[in-house]
């Protein structure tokens, strides 16, 4: 079974960002929003320009129906500012080229990530990769599993650690040292 994993290597993340920024600004923003907010792909795709103009993104999560408020990081703010310049508040951020004002679909988001995975030799990539990448790096920087659990609306710290692959990292390290 293939399990979607976070992108752990910060240098690879930077390389992906550079590549996407050169190739396609919309896909770059999809990636950036995902790794900087931890939002699910279904919530990213429904964002409009007006949703990201303030200091926070306020949404009702599609999956849980819960209200969520996420602070926009300074680096994401800088990138959003040039991206949304001249766009109207009701325009979708991750807009499809088909139709007047429609977001890309989940399957197109998956295709974008698959192309990135092929280009950068990544396995186990899916639409949850962006959310898991955010969670993995948030945890590595803060070690605050309780905060991450709340951000992700998980029911326990164990679920959160398993979700972001930290338990897998620990098991991998233990197995590397193990011998009989």
How is residue 165 written in tokens?
A: 């692959």
Q: Which two tokens stand for residue 102?
A: 């429609």
Q: Could you list the active site residues?
A: 40, 63, 128, 131, 154, 163
Tokens of 44: 């990213």
Report helix angle 145-152 to 129-142, nearest 10: 150
| Residues 91 and 99 sit within 8 Å (Cβ to Cβ) | no
Q: Which two tokens stand for residue 156?
A: 């326990």
CB atoms under 10 Å from CB of 153, counted, come to: 13
The tokens describing 51, both together, are 């949703």
Segment 64-70 long-range contacts (CB within 8 Å, at least 24 positions apart): 64/153, 66/153, 68/39, 68/43, 68/153, 70/37, 70/38, 70/39, 70/151
SS (H, E, C) 53-88: CCCEEEEECCCCCCEEEEECCHHHHHHHHHHHCCCC
């Amino acid at each position: 079974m293939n399990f979607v994993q976070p992108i752990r290597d910060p240098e690879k993340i930077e390389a992906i960002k550079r590549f996407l920024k050169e190739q396609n600004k919309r896909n770059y923003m999809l990636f950036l929003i995902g790794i900087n907010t931890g939002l699910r792909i279904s919530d990213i795709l429904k964002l409009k320009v007006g949703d990201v103009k303030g200091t926070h993104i306020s949404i009702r999560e599609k999956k849980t129906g819960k209200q969520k408020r996420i602070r926009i990081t300074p680096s994401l703010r800088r990138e959003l500012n040039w991206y949304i310049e001249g766009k109207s508040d009701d325009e979708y951020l991750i807009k499809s080229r088909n139709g007047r004002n429609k977001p890309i679909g989940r399957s197109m988001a998956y295709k974008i990530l698959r192309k990135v995975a092929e280009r950068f030799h990544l396995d186990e990539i899916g639409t949850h990769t962006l959310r898991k990448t955010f969670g993995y790096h948030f945890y590595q920087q803060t070690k605050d599993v309780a905060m991450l659990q709340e951000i992700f609306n998980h029911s326990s710290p164990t679920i959160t650690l398993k979700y972001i692959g930290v338990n897998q990292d620990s098991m991998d390290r233990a197995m590397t040292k193990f011998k009989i």
